[in-house]
Structure 1
């Protein structure tokens, strides 16, 4: 998927994180994505729906 390709590029540039935090968008909740993170040993933290405060820095960075 495009999301996995993006993460692989980010890993090559920035290194592999121990944890990532995402919203509950379908791209981040798919079985394929969860399997990908598991293979890399990355803990996946999902934000609470409707709680934009926890995601505000990321949202601001991405201008969403």
Structure 2
């Protein structure tokens, strides 16, 4: 629920994107999240599991 609320707030501010890239965390591969994206017509791209370079840009942006 929190993830969906966060995305809705982002979309309200920045608009609905064509694609979203996430890691493979449980919140991002759940049926609810995938249905949410599908309903909005958003393509979902996931990073390569256990690959630090797969999410390098996002990790850098979050200073992880």
Alignment TM class, shorter chain as reference: over 0.9
Stretches of 4+ aligned residues off by more than 4 angstroms: none
Return the TM-score normalized by structure 1. Answer: 0.94
Structure 2, gaps ≥5 residues long: none
Question: How many residue pairs were aligned?
Answer: 64
Return the TM-score normalized by structure 2. Answer: 0.94
Structure 1, gaps ≥5 residues long: none
Q: CA RMSD in A?
A: 0.7
Choose 25-34 or 45-54, whichever is displaced more.
45-54
